[in-house]
Amino acid sequence: MDPQAFIRLSIGSLGLRFSGAAAPKSGGIPASSSPCTCDIRLRGFPVQTTSIPLVSSPEATPASHGIASSFYLDESDLKALLAPGCFSASQPGLEISVFTGRKATHCGVGIKRQQIGTFKLNVGPEWTDGKPAVLFDGWKVIGKNRPENGKPGVELHVRVKLDPDPRYVFQFEEDTKLSPQIVQLQGAVKQPIFSCKFSRDRVSQLEAPNAFWSGAAEEDVERRERKGWRVKIHDLSGSAVAAAFITTPFVPSGGCDWVAKSNPGAWLIVRPDTCMAESWQPWGKLEAWRERGMRDSICFRFHVFSNGQEGGELLVSEILIGAEKGGEFFIDTDRQIRSAATPLTSPQSSGDFAALSPVSGGFVMRCRVRGEGKCSRPLVQLAMRYVTCVEDAAIFMALAAAVDLSIEACRPFRRKIRRGGSRHSW
């Protein structure tokens, strides 16, 4: 398998200090009491916002290993950034705007943040070298005041680094429930790698054949529970190399017609046991439920089992995906998942990902799925450092299939039957 080239642009080691005269304020900006944040912009990517700690000692330097934000760029992203005329002198590639205060409201009136200054960094040819490179590491005066002129100024400490981050890219050729082939994408080339076999328990006699999987879920009778779904991933020789099974049925919670957080459905993600033939070894658990609101979302919570044991669970991802439009499920230890109910853990040993290479943080996996009632054909990106053989990639394909099927499993349980030519809701 040949990976596709990606680079990781990481911004970290953030710190803010007031230089020059040690005044409590600089241009009306409190030097110690007001919270500071920054908006990190890279053209073509969503703005990322993070907090910046204040550094009180002139000799102190923020920890160099702390990562506040990351951007992942493929070959097309780099070409767009390096295209002639892409940036003007006032619009560099990377821009970090620093503010004091938080976005908030008081008595219905919006409170605006006050901008302190901006750090700018241009895109250069070293971005395409495919080698690790530190683009900037140190203090930079931002804002209008300059310490050398005898005025108190503001300095931002930042470390900007490029690292190669090659990925394997896979796609399900059809909807997951149709047992599709899985291909690896390398440019315009598609190489078959796996096949996906979906199965489920026999439907009840009350359910019309294929009614549940048809696009019109409002027609005919729908089951009151979804269980017994299985997905097996086979290699090209036909051997099963990974699987996902529903272990906790997707059922409506009391007083409602949807799968609620109080009783989520769950999948067990497994791989073949190397010590026992025809046996499976637990690898991870995926839980899913529906969050109601103006726009419903499906919440996913994924644990890996430390050293392949169900007793030691590590929460590594908690994601909200739009029920109607779909979205991305990802495992990325750099990204701050604000909606997580509990702190996320960064796996630290090879056993945490079942004999994969040691985890150093950063991107692990991304899976793009479409909303309910749509043919998703999941698109999966996987960090090359986690794949030592084809079987390592298969376990992530089983996880991707479980994510995709959970979108359907979390659909509301509206039940309609035909009586005398009319339809009634239960």
Higher per-residue confidence, 25 vs 399:
399
9-67 pLDDT, tens per residue? 999 999 998 865 433 344 444 444 567 899 999 988 889 999 898 888 777 788 777 78
Least confident of 33-47, 79-93, 387-401: 79-93
Percent of the chain at pLDDT > 90 equals 45
Q: For position 418, what pLDDT does the model report?
A: 44
Higher per-residue confidence, 124 vs 392:
392
Q: Which residues contact 34 (CB under 8 A, 6 or more apart)?
A: 100, 101
Over residues 377-398, the mean pLDDT reads 93
**Is the CATH number of domain 7-164 2.60.40.150?**
yes
- Distances in Å between the Cα of 400 and the Cα atoms of 16, 172, 243, 280 are 41, 10, 11, 18
Q: How confident is the model at residue 382 (pLDDT cuts 50, 70, 90)?
A: very high
Q: How confident is the model at residue 297 (pLDDT cuts 50, 70, 90)?
A: very high
Least confident of 173-182, 197-206, 217-226, 306-315: 217-226
Q: What is the chain's Cα-based Rg?
A: 25
- Dump the DSSP string for 33-61: SS-EEEEEEETTS--EEEE--B--STT--
Q: What is the mean pLDDT of the chain?
A: 79
Q: For position 103, what pLDDT does the model report?
A: 61
- Dump the DSSP string for 354-395: TSPPPP-SSEEEEEEE--TTS----EEEEEGGG-SSHHHHHH
pLDDT at 381 over 90: yes
Q: Rounded CA gap, 243 and 129, in Å?
A: 39
117-160 pLDDT, tens per residue? 999 998 888 888 889 999 999 999 987 765 555 566 788 999 99
pLDDT at 110 over 60: no
The tokens describing 337, both together, are: 């998942």
Least confident of 6-10, 28-32, 227-231, 283-287: 28-32
Q: For position 420, what pLDDT does the model report?
A: 45
Higher per-residue confidence, 100 vs 143:
100
pLDDT at 205 over 60: no
Calculated CA dihedral for residues 404, 409, 410, 414, nearest 10 degrees: 140
Q: For position 146, what pLDDT does the model report?
A: 59
Over residues 331-359, the mean pLDDT reads 49
pLDDT at 409 over 90: yes
Over residues 77-106, the mean pLDDT reads 71
- Dump the DSSP string for 143-205: SS--GGGTS-EEEEEEEEEEEE--EEEEEESS-GGG--EEEEEETTEEEEEEEEEEE-PPPPT
Q: Which helix (H) or strand (E) holds 349?
A: none
Residue type, 81: L
- Cβ pair 265, 287 in contact under 8 A: yes
pTM for the predicted model, two decimal places: 0.79
Q: How confident is the model at residue 245 (pLDDT cuts 50, 70, 90)?
A: very high
Least confident of 86-100, 115-129, 244-258, 343-357: 343-357
Residue type, 201: D
pLDDT at 298 over 60: yes
Q: For position 90, what pLDDT does the model report?
A: 45
pLDDT at 306 over 80: no
Q: For position 167, what pLDDT does the model report?
A: 94
Q: For position 270, what pLDDT does the model report?
A: 95
